Amino acid sequence: MNVLDAADLTVRYGGSVALRDATLAVGAGRLVAVAGANGAGKSTLVNACAGWSRGHASIAGDVRLDGRSVARLAAYRRARLGIQCVPEGKNVFGELTVEENFALVPAVPREAGRHVFSREDVLGLFPRLHERRTHKGSALSGGERQMLAIGRALLAGPRILLLDEPSVGLAPRLIFDVLTVVRRLVDDGLAVLLVEQNVSAALDVADELYLIERGRIVGHGDAAAMRQDERIAQAYLGGLAEVEP
């Protein structure tokens, strides 16, 4: 059984279709990436899975968590069940310190399928946050804020982690640092859905890759195999530097 299944998701804003018939699956210990250009529908897809919608969006299709439909549940209820989403633009409180940001996350029960992390666990994953733990969120760098946002999501006990464009605005070294930690989490059994404009960065860490264009999923396959596909390399990897330390 997959941790997350999205089936035939369609999102409309009035007469405009932002996402059409999108279907994907994420298993335990798998990092599934969704890549495409700006405006392709990546964030719309991850927001539909998380239960977030803006304006008067109309959403059709199904989202299942561990086989249970959550399509009719509000975002906060999906989060309580274990769908933890880190949106683009981060999710931290600028006037609070790193420690205070962590303290706002309520304790979660240890249940089958949940990955429960302590503050010590998170600070171990992100040593830079340990060094900056008394600093306010507004004083952190973009990479540090991204680490803090992911850390808060981990403290909430995810069954699956949804990451929306974690590389945006980060230097290549910080992209490498953040995605290396994400890959470690996956190797320890966590399911991750990663949305990325940087196809090269996504391929570096993903097990599977979905390609999305104009609101439609146009390709899916093993990430390693797709990297070797000349058509994909020409269409999506041209001009994108690989993520290296």
What pairs with residue 58 in β-bridges?
Answer: 12
CA quadruple 133, 245, 239, 46: dihedral sign: negative
| Residue recorded with tokens 């507004």 | 138
User: Of 153, 157, 196, nearest to 32 (Cα)?
Assistant: 196
* Global pTM value: 0.92
The per-residue pLDDT for range 174-228, each reduced to its tens digit, is 899 999 999 999 999 999 999 988 888 889 999 999 999 999 999 999 999 998 8
- Tens digit of each residue's pLDDT (9 = 90 or more) over 145-175: 999 999 999 999 999 999 999 988 888 888 9
Q: 3-class DSSP state for residue 165?
A: coil
Two tokens, residue 160: 């699956």
Q: Please provide residue 65's backbone torsions phi and psi, each rounded to the nearest 5 degrees.
A: -110, 115
Which amino acid, residue 235? A
Residue ranges per structural domain of the chain: 4-237
pLDDT one-digit tens code per residue, 23-65: 999 999 999 999 988 899 999 999 999 998 766 789 999 999 9
Query: Which of 101, 141, 97, 147 has its CA nearest to residue 122?
Result: 147
- The reported pLDDT for the residue numbered 235 is 77
Tokens of 124: 């171990």
CATH topology of domain 4-237: Rossmann fold (3.40.50)
- Reference 219, options 204, 241, 199; nearest CA is 199
